[in-house]
Amino acid sequence: MALLNNDRLTHWVIGALVSWMAFLLCLFIPLFHWLLGFSIVKIAVSASIGCAGQLAATPWLFSARATAGNPVGDIPKRVTAVIIWFSLTALLFFYYISRDWPNDEHATEFKWIMFGTTLVFGVMGLTAVALISRNRRRS
């Protein structure tokens, strides 16, 4: 009996939760709290945002995985899921950290740059996936 079964969604979810908890305890708290002095609450909320983003994308990634019937998997679906996962996680993280910033002209400009850049790269990535997959279907 294998400890982790690639064909069970619950194992993917448990793996994500355990991984985020391990990173929080073994990397994020020692690095960001002990060395850089950030609040443990901010670190935990930031890690929770990353974990929630991964958990939201996990069923989508699970459905695009390689199986015995489809040894390659659904690559365009996987890439699309990862682009959306990373983009939404970045947007939520940027929103969370920017809530404590002063409400001045420079902070507002920097927020627009953060959010705009994330959205532009996300849309560019999704467009590239759509064009590449459409061209591959034609040939």
Residue-wise pLDDT tens digits, 88-116? 999 999 999 998 888 899 999 999 999 99
Residue-wise pLDDT tens digits, 4-24? 777 899 999 999 999 999 999
Q: How many CB atoms lie within 10 A of CB 48?
A: 14
pLDDT at residue 2, as a whole number: 66
pLDDT at residue 25, as a whole number: 96
DSSP secondary structure of 41-72: HHHHHHHHHHHHHHHHHHHHHHHTS--SSSSS
